[in-house]
Structure 1
Amino acid sequence: MATNTGNTIIALVSGAAIGAALGILFAPDKGDKTRKKIKDGYKDLEKDLKSKLSNAKVDLEETYSELVSNMSHKTEDVISFLEVKLAELKEQNAKLQK
């Protein structure tokens, strides 16, 4: 999940940089207008990036919570298994002690 988010961010930033460079090269407008368009484009990119990072953070927190919950259940399973094995060993030991 984190890899997908990282790739998305890299693609987003790369696309914005390429778009900005091409926009400057082929801009029919005056410099003031072009700079304003670039500034607006970066603001949109910033908003989109913040949104994606926020979503990635939520996804990461959910994944962490699920992992902790799953590990808690697995821990209980392991403890139960070990308790059964301990009881079996005590029983075998009691037989050998007689």
Structure 2
Amino acid sequence: MNDHGNTFLGLLAGTAIGAVLGILFAPDKGENTRQRISDEADTAKHKLTNLAHDLKEQALSTASVKKQSLDEHVEAIVSDVSYKAEDIISTLEKKLKDLKEKNKNLQKS
């Protein structure tokens, strides 16, 4: 989890704890207090669900971007290696031609 997610989670937890403590120490009937605690818990649950969804989407997006970047790098490497292989083959073919020519000349002598 990144720093923003940790910060948001900390703020959310602090808010929830503060709200529950505020409700518990406020002078009100027990039934009202329990209802307020339940409402606050539902609100916190929804916020956590939204945070988890947002973090999941962010992770999927980041993974997709990284995969695309990796695919582009691999493609560039394969292309570069292909060109180098062609250069090596051409050089070897030239050297083989030169060696055949020298061998032909040696056999004539």
For the superposition of Structure 1 and Structure 2, which TM-score range results when normalised by the shorter chain?
0.7 to 0.9
Q: What is the TM-score normalised by the length of structure 1?
A: 0.73
Query: Which contiguous aligned blocks of 4+ residues in structure 1 show a shift greater than 3 angstroms?
Result: none
Aligned residues: 85
Name which of 1, 12, 27 aligns with 1:23.
Answer: 12
Name which of 47, 72, 95 aligns with 2:82.
Answer: 72
Question: Deviation at 1:35?
Answer: 2.1
% identical equivalent positions: 33
Greater length-normalized contact order (CA 8 Å, ≥ 6 residues apart):
1
Question: Deviation at 1:23?
Answer: 3.0
Question: Deviation at 1:32?
Answer: 2.1
Give the structure 1 partner of residue 44 of structure 2: 34
Give the structure 2 partner of residue 8 of structure 1: none
Structure 2 unmatched ranges of 5 or more: 20-39
Name which of 51, 63, 75 aligns with 2:61.
Answer: 51
**In structure 2, distance between residues paired with 1:65 and 1:54:** 16
Question: Deviation at 1:18?
Answer: 5.7
**In structure 2, distance between residues paired with 1:69 and 1:14:** 36
Q: What is the TM-score normalised by the length of structure 2?
A: 0.66
Question: Deviation at 1:44?
Answer: 0.8
**In structure 2, distance between residues paired with 1:47 and 1:65:** 27
Question: Deviation at 1:22?
Answer: 5.2
Structure 1 unmatched ranges of 5 or more: 1-12
**In structure 1, distance between residues paired with 2:96 and 2:2:** 59
Whichever of the two has the greater Rg, that structure is 2
Question: Deviation at 1:19?
Answer: 4.0
